[in-house]
Amino acid sequence: MKLIILDRDGVINHDSDAFIKSPAEWVPIKGSLEAIARLNQAGYRVVVATNQSGIARGLFDMQTLMAIHQKMHEAAQLVGAEIDAIFFCPHAADDNCDCRKPKAGMFHDIGKRFDVSLRGGVATVGDSLRDLQAGFVAGCAPYLVLTGKGEKTREKGGLPPGTLIYPNLAAVVDFLLKKPMELAV
């Protein structure tokens, strides 16, 4: 089975320094949902691994997070895309949980749930260093996109070895499905 693990904010939808606190604030990045549909058609299971410390911060509750994800699923369906599962960490950094990226807990759980060894070339796509670090530790091939916080992440450096950089999720999918696309260097 082909599997890919995507960060949510800044990869699928626009991010905000004020967090994505409601369905109304969830706006897909142009081309991202269509890119997921192309992955589905190529036989990929698409799974999201997202930090949602806004829950621990009291910025929004679980019901609101579920409503945001319902909107994401519906928007995906409109373009023939399907997100197979959404794993999220609702904790704050000082909760010292095992699931908050850059820890790899969500990635290990995804590997178990889908019975896939992540070390077999499973790609993970993120806009923050912690996304890439979590995936890399779990054995994934890291891809940085320059949407969301990606430009800042590139400037800061320290990316896991072998990280490939692309302008956005659609360009990563072009590469994965072997349509020529220039690397964003």
Ligand X SMILES: O=P(O)(O)OC[C@@H](O)[C@H]1O[C@@H](OP(=O)(O)O)[C@@H](O)[C@@H](O)[C@@H]1O
Catalytic positions are 7, 9
Instruction: List interacting residues with ligand X (CB under 6 A).
Output: 7-10, 15-17, 19-20, 50-54, 93, 128
Query: Counting contacts by CB under 5 A, is residue 99 touching Zn ion?
Result: yes
From Zn ion, Mg ion, ligand X, none, interface partner of 71 (C-beta below 5 to 8 A by class): none
Which residues share a beta bridge with 6? 48, 125
Give the count of beta carbons closer than 10 Å to the beta carbon of residue 120.
13
Q: Which positions from 72 to 91 touch Zn ion by CB under 5 A, shown as an x/- string?
A: -----------------x-x
Query: Counting contacts by CB under 5 A, is residue 9 touching Mg ion?
Result: yes
Nearest distance from residue 39's CB to Mg ion, in Å? Answer: 18
Nearest distance from residue 11's CB to ligand X, in Å? Answer: 7
Nearest distance from residue 95's CB to ligand X, in Å? Answer: 11
Distances (CA, A) of 83 to 21, 39, 126: 20, 10, 16
Nearest CA-CA partner of 60 in 12, 27, 18? 18
Where in 2-95 does DSSP place strands (E)?
A: 2-6, 44-51, 85-89
Nearer to ligand X, 81 or 153 (CB): 153
178: Cβ contacts below 8 Å, ≥ 6 apart? none
Nearer to ligand X, 53 or 64 (CB): 53
From Mg ion, ligand X, Zn ion, none, interface partner of 97 (C-beta below 5 to 8 A by class): Zn ion
Q: Are 165 and 185 in contact (CB under 8 A)?
A: yes
* Residue bearing tokens 């799974």: 47
